[in-house]
Each structure stands twice: as C-alpha cells, then as structure tokens.
C-alpha cells in the first residue's frame, strides 16, 4: 500500500494511538476513531513491563513481549522528544516475593532474561519491610514499568495531534460493511467513513464488530501515596506477588492491582474486589496500611481463549487486527506498532504473526 493512502484506526486506546503515531511518522494519512479514551485498558492498567514476572512461558508470546520490552527505551524517548512530555518509563526491575519456597530456584535464562533467586535475608536487604511470611523471591532486573495513566497515554495523544493525525472523539462504530474481499465502509453514529485500509484496535470491545473471540476480563485497581515526611521513598522497584502487584511511581504514588474477574462489562468497584487488593498488598508490604488512599478505578482487559493477541491480516484484504493483548497491552504497544506498520505499509509479514492469526479460531 502506498504510504499516502488513508488508514482508519478503529479504536483510540493505547494500541490505536501507538499505531497512529508510527504510521503517521512513516508518511501515512491516519484517522483515529475513538469512542471513549477513559475506558481504554491502556489507561487503566498499572503500566508494568513484566514478561518475566508474569511468567510468560518460552515461545512466540514471550519472544514478542521481550522484543517489545527491548524497544521501550528508544520508543518512549522518541515520544518524549516529539512532545516535550514525560512518559514515566522506568526500567526499575521487578521483585517477585513468594510465600512458599519453589522446588527449583533457577529459571530458564537467556542473556535477555536474567533472573536471580533471593533467600529471605537477601530479599529483605534489597527491599526492607516485606511481609513476615515472605520466604524469598525472584529478582527480574530487566522488567520495569511506565506511567501509562499520567504519562504514556497523554504523550501518545499529544504526539498524534502534533503529527497531524485526525482524532475523532465520542464516535461509535456500529458496523463494518464488507464485500467478499474487502471492508467497503464503516457506519458510525457520526456518519459513514471509508479508507484504503482499516485497523481494528478496539481492545475488549473487538467482538462487538467482528465475530472474533475477544472478551472483557475486569480488573479493579487503587492507588495510595507515600506520606510527604517519608524520606527516602520506601519502594524503588515493582513488587509482584501472588495475585497482587504494587507499582511505585517516582513521585511517591503507588498503584496496586488488580483483580481478574469474569463478569462481562459489569462496571464499578466491589467491596470484595477492594478488600482482596488491600489484604494482598498489606500482606506483601505491610507499611502500606498507613499510606493515604488516592483513587480507585476499574477497567477491562481484552482476553482471548488462548490468552494470545490477534495480530496481522484478517479475512478481509484491507482489514488488519491488533486486539486481544490481554494482560500485556502496555508492554506490547511498541512492537505492535512496529510490526503492524511494517505489514500495512510495506506488506512485511513478520513470522511471529503466524502464531497470532485470527483464523486459529475460525480455520
């Protein structure tokens, strides 16, 4: 496809904006249709860049995640330079304390995936104040975080605007009109649109437009803040426990997540959800119970039956998919933008797409 051809991104969340910026930087004419920025999973998550702490097994998904983690430094610098804003990227490492000693204290390693087992004494030296029943844990120095909520999404949005991406807000795409080979137009609540190519980036809502298995997986979250008189900041790395994570930002905000609930698009917070987060976080890092609460929120991860994304070509020649990133959308944003742009603009079919094709569900 010629770069000057018009591309419509259906979905203005983190993946849609990352793609919009990349395509525009490569010379394409890009329009983003965004229904509601606030509901996008990229804004809701804690911003962990955690392929190792998440224990993604060796294989194509881990390869994709590691490729993306390796892009993060340059990608966020580029966005920061374009906009003058800060993304909050912080390669701080992730500490994963455990309450039961594992059978083996070595993990499969490559030069890109170093990991270290720390006995209780050593883990307490690295992170004082962990709970009494922590027996040890893993240190993943190459995992990290980005401040998605206050930094990355705003930076991407500004970059898209400054580069001249057309962003249409509060627009709901109702139908994709198709011929046997192509999407011919899309019908929205603000009229009909057509383009040379379309990319679906609608996250947990992808199943509303196409018959693909992407479902919402709800997560509730909260944040606390380290009191002003607490010097120096007590946490300088992410803590990744069992069903709980504690993500300290550089300015003393601490994000705590997240529940994982199969409740469809049921909105809102629940006492059970918040109680689970608070008790898990306090068990892992007890002093948190003294820190003032800042905010509660929730959102929907885009889950697929095999927990892998749907990336690359679709049944229709001019429709590409970039959905279903589940727990790893923030981590996978730069590699998704790179690989999908290579495909849409230059027809480069990355071998990794083979594992993430949508026809694995509908052969």
Q: What's the min distance (Å) between Cβ of 221 and ligand GLY?
A: 8
CA 162 to chain centre: 23
Residue nearest to ligand GLY (CB): 327
Tell me how many degrees the CA angle 255-259-265 measures, rounded to the nearest 5: 115
Residue 52 vs 341, nearer CB to ligand GLY: 52
Asked whether position 149 contacts ligand GLY by CB under 6 A, the answer is: no
The residues, ordered by sequence, that sit 6+ positions from 118 with a Cβ below 8 Å of its Cβ are 95, 126, 136, 137, 138, 139
Q: What's the min distance (Å) between Cβ of 249 and ligand GLY?
A: 16
Structure tokens at 305: 């039956």
Q: Among residues 13, 16, 45, 151, which is the contact residue for ligand GLY, using CB under 6 A?
A: 45
d(CA 83, CA 184): 35
The residues, ordered by sequence, that sit 6+ positions from 318 with a Cβ below 8 Å of its Cβ are 182, 183, 196, 197, 198
Residues facing residue 176 across a β-bridge? 186
Asked whether position 219 contacts ligand GLY by CB under 6 A, the answer is: yes
Q: Among residues 258, 319, 321, 333, which is the contact residue for ligand GLY, using CB under 6 A?
A: 258
Q: What's the min distance (Å) between Cβ of 122 and ligand GLY?
A: 26
Asked whether position 325 contacts ligand GLY by CB under 6 A, the answer is: no
Asked whether position 327 contacts ligand GLY by CB under 6 A, the answer is: yes
d(CA 357, CA 266): 29
Asked whether position 257 contacts ligand GLY by CB under 6 A, the answer is: yes
Q: Among residues 9, 48, 153, 171, which is the contact residue for ligand GLY, using CB under 6 A?
A: 48
Number of CB atoms found within 10 A of residue 211's CB: 9
Between helix 329-346 and helix 60-83 the angle, nearest 10°, is 90
What is the size of the binding site for ligand GLY (CB under 6 A)?
7
Residue 49 vs 160, nearer CB to ligand GLY: 49
Asked whether position 301 contacts ligand GLY by CB under 6 A, the answer is: yes
Residue 161 vs 270, nearer CB to ligand GLY: 270
Q: Could you list the residues that contact ligand GLY (CB under 6 A)?
A: 45, 48, 219, 257-258, 301, 327
């Amino acid at each position: 496809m010629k770069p000057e051809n018009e591309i419509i991104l259906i979905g203005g969340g983190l993946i849609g904006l990352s793609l919009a910026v990349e395509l525009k930087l490569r010379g394409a004419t890009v329009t983003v249709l965004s229904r509601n920025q606030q509901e996008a999973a990229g804004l809701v998550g804690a911003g962990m860049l955690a392929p190792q702490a998440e224990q993604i097994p060796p294989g194509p998904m881990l390869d994709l995640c590691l490729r993306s983690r390796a892009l993060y430094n340059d990608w966020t610098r580029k966005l920061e330079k374009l906009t003058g804003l800060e993304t909050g990227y912080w390669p701080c490492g992730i500490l994963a304390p455990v309450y039961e000693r594992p059978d083996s204290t070595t993990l499969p390693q490559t030069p890109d995936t170093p990991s270290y087992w720390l006995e209780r004494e050593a883990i307490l030296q690295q992170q004082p104040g962990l709970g009494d029943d922590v027996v040890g844990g893993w240190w993943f120095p190459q995992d990290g975080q980005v401040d998605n909520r206050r930094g990355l999404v705003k930076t991407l949005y500004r970059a898209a605007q400054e580069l001249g991406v057309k962003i249409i807000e509060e627009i709901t795409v109702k139908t994709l009109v198709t011929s046997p080979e192509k999407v011919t137009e899309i019908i929205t609540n603000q009229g009909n649109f057509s383009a040379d190519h379309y990319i679906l980036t609608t996250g947990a809502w992808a199943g509303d437009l196409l018959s693909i298995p992407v479902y919402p997986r709800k997560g509730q979250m909260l944040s606390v803040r380290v009191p002003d008189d607490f010097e120096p900041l007590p946490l300088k790395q992410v803590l990744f426990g069992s069903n709980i994570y504690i993500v300290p930002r550089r300015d003393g905000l601490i994000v705590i997540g997240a529940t994982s609930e199969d409740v469809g698009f049921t909105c809102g917070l629940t006492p059970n959800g918040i109680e689970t987060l608070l008790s898990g976080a306090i068990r892992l890092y007890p002093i948190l119970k003294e820190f003032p609460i800042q905010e509660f929120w929730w959102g929907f991860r885009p889950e697929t039956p095999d927990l892998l994304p749907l990336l690359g070509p679709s049944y229709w020649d001019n429709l590409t998919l970039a959905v279903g990133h589940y727990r790893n959308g923030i981590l996978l944003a730069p590699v998704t933008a790179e690989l999908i742009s290579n495909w849409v603009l230059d027809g480069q079919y990355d071998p990794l797409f083979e594992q993430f094709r949508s026809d694995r569900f509908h052969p």
